[in-house]
Amino acid sequence: MTALTEYRTSPPPPQKMENDQTQFRQFVRQFLNSRLAVAGLVVFVLMVLAAILAPLVAPQDPYDLNTLNIMNSFLPPRSEDFMGEYVFWLGSDGQGRDMLSGMLYGLRTSLTVGVGSAIIACMFGASMGLMAGFFGGRFDALVMRLVDLHLSFPTILIAMMILAFLGPGLVNVVVAIIVVEWAYYARTVRATALVENQREYMEAADSLVLGRARKVFRHLLPNCLPPLIVIATIQVARAISLEATLSFLGLGVPITEPSLGLLISNGYEQVIAGRYWISVYPGVALLILIVSINLVGDHLREILNPSNQR
Amino acid sequence: MTTWLFRRLLQAAMVVLAMTIIVFVGLHVVGDPVTTFAPPEATQADLARIRENLGLDRPFALQYVSFLSDLVRGDLGTSYVYGVPALELVLSRMPATFELAATAMAISIVIGIGLGIYCGLYPEKSVSRAIMAGSIFGFSLPTFWVGIMLIMLFSVELGWLPSGGRGETVTVLGLRWSFLTWDGLAHLLLPAINLALFKMSLLLRLTRAIVRETLPKDYVKFARAKGLPERRVLGVHVLKNIMIPIVTIIGLELGSVVAFAVVTETVFAWPGMGKLIIDSIQILDRPVILAYLIIIVLMFVVLNLIVDILYAVLDPRVRQGMMS
């Protein structure tokens, strides 16, 4: 039995190697067609690199209290520190912390929380959707009822409810974002899985008496990927934005690990005093990050949406 | 139709019941309410007595049932901070939120649908392209940051508009309203624009897509072939048909505007329910959190119900489908 399945279960489409490669090349070529999307991708990759390399590229370690001096507080952009040795390109905050360094570290928190929670939500939501589409029946009805209920409430309300139960904190924000986002993945994957489940290759897999897990993960899942990728891209941007909003509201990440949203929040009171840079620059960074992801997502949707190809 | 309505009502009641269970379990099982408001020097015996007084030593199912019966009587406990009934407190903040949400919704409907129709009719014009590009920013800009930028520009730099609060209010029908005084209107403008921005982009994109979908349809071609003036074709034949999905979306977004008002209210120190709930979550004022969540869940369920019914009233095809 195993020998037989090993022998004849080349997943669809037929002539896998060749076809996959040309398909992938075609995808890359189509992606490169849009200058905006490529620019978005480049900016996003640069920001990820900047976040990963923050300890190396940041002029200052914003968490190291020894490097901070209260004499440097609230310096406007491009001013030197009081010793005249160091330039605050984007100004400093109330503790004399270099804004640029703070933003690089904030980017780290924002990206970790956003991408991390989006990935976990994707895995959970996609599994639920895949199983609902594959098994159908009661399980499908239950999951979809839950998804409908979920999507009838706005994201911010659900996130607020979770954080009201659990209290603020980094892990709790991740939990809140996962709870908010899983339904979007589940709905999308389930819709695709329902269609794909009727295809010939699934019938072929049936007639080969393959195990359920194998059918779902090796045959069904790869064919549900295109819409999943589109959703995942856009949900990463939404997760980052949601985290920033929650942190601004004081329900998010702790002050010890400020994200871009918390940096903006810290600068909020200073805006009235005319110290614009503490809120503006982290906001611009956040905006660039979200727009670059959305540009990539928009174009991916155009390429991967089957109705646009025919 | 009656069977459908009855089923739909039952479903709505089930959702409310399910949400009360979730909220009750969430607020009363995760974390111990006693430790949050007992004085730090309280002994174990004191804590046990408080627990007994609050009925927290009883079986969980019993606690839930007594919570439900209190809920039906409109008793959601007393705010730890303000010392007044929580429900009353939340309800007293409601008009401010509704005023803000309604103004924001009006702005986004007028501008969003207007521009959306324009962009749908003339998709190739450069103005339309510029509007569409701008709407991407409407989506991507985090609301709270836009709010801060609005304050920075119009309150701090230019000094045209106030940065927060509700301003002077007038009491009409027993409620205080801002939009009836110049000062109140000035206070309302920035928050309303801030809250409207996201919905405006959403409505704009939606309207444009629907208009573009509708224009090549047969009945539009037929109306033109009959020699009807363009104004009548667009104003009656097209507009009537695009209104159905748009009204649905507006109905559904109405609730979402009230929920998202939380962010705008925090930025502009607008004294509505949203500001209250954020403050209450931070100081763990459980009765107020509970009252807010119950009220807002109820509001959503009712809104969804109304939209469903309206949908059936507006669209004869849906009505027909429900009969059979």
ipTM field? 0.80
Q: Which of A56-65, A200-209, B181-190 has the lowest mean pLDDT?
A: A56-65
Q: pLDDT confidence of A264, banded at 50, 70, 90?
A: confident
- Stretch B32-54: mean pLDDT, rounded? 70
- The CATH architecture annotation of domain B92-276 reads Orthogonal Bundle (1.10)
Residue A74 maps to a domain? no
- Report CA-CA distances (Å) from A10 to A215, A286, B40, B267: 12, 44, 67, 57
Q: Show the domain range for A168.
A: 36-54+97-304
Contact B260/A152, CB-based, under 8 Å?
A: no
Using a CB-CB distance cutoff of 8 angstroms, which residues of chain A are in contact with residue B282? 168, 250-251
pLDDT in tens, B138-184: 877 888 888 888 888 888 777 777 777 776 666 666 667 766 677 77
Q: Which of A69, A67, A41, A40 is nearest to A55 (CA)?
A: A67
Whose tokens are 């590229």? That residue is A57
A78 Rama sector, left if φ>0, alpha if ψ -120 to 50, beta otherwise: left
Residue A21 maps to a domain? no
CB burial of residue A141 (10 Å; 0-12, 13-18, 19+): exposed
- Stretch A130-144: mean pLDDT, rounded? 87
Percent of chain A, pLDDT > 70?
81
Residue A137 maps to a domain? yes
Smallest CA–CA distance, residue A138 to chain B, in Å, is 18
What is the end-to-end Cα distance of chain A in Å, rounded? 40
Predicted confidence (pLDDT) at residue B132 exceeds the cutoff of 50:
yes
pLDDT in tens, A25-71: 888 888 788 788 888 899 999 988 888 887 777 777 777 666 666 66
Q: pLDDT confidence of A89, banded at 50, 70, 90?
A: low
Predicted confidence (pLDDT) at residue B48 exceeds the cutoff of 80:
no
Chain B interface with A: residues with Cβ < 8 Å: 15, 18, 22-23, 26-27, 30-31, 136-137, 139-145, 148-149, 151-152, 155-156, 163, 252, 255-256, 259-260, 262-263, 266-267, 277-278, 281-282, 284, 289, 293, 296-297, 300, 304
Predicted confidence (pLDDT) at residue B35 exceeds the cutoff of 70:
no
Structure tokens at B289: 């959190």
Task: Pick B215 or A273 by higher pLDDT.
Answer: B215
Q: Hey, what amino acid is at A152?
A: S
Q: Which of B13, B115, B7, B113 is nearest to B72 (CA)?
A: B13
- Stretch A257-275: mean pLDDT, rounded? 79
Residue A231 maps to a domain? yes
How many domains is chain A built from? Answer: 1
Residue A73 maps to a domain? no
Give the number of other Cβ atoms within 10 Å of residue B300's Cβ.
24
- DSSP β-bridge partners for residue A92: A98
Predicted confidence (pLDDT) at residue B264 exceeds the cutoff of 50:
yes
Percent of chain B, pLDDT > 90?
5
- What pLDDT is recorded for position B321? 64
Contact A154/B30, CB-based, under 8 Å?
A: no
Residue A290 maps to a domain? yes
- Report CA-CA distances (Å) from A206 to A76, A131, A139: 68, 16, 20
- What pLDDT is recorded for position A269? 79
Q: Which of A156-160, B94-98, B134-138, B171-175 has the lowest mean pLDDT?
A: B171-175
A136 Rama sector, left if φ>0, alpha if ψ -120 to 50, beta otherwise: left
Q: CB within 8 A of A143, min separation 6: which ones?
A: A128, A129, A131, A132, A186, A190
- Stretch A137-148: mean pLDDT, rounded? 87
Report H helices in chain A.
Answer: 2-8, 16-33, 35-52, 54-57, 99-135, 137-151, 155-166, 170-196, 200-207, 212-214, 221-248, 260-272, 277-304, 306-309
Considering only CB atoms, B142 lies closest to which of A152, A167, A244, namely A244
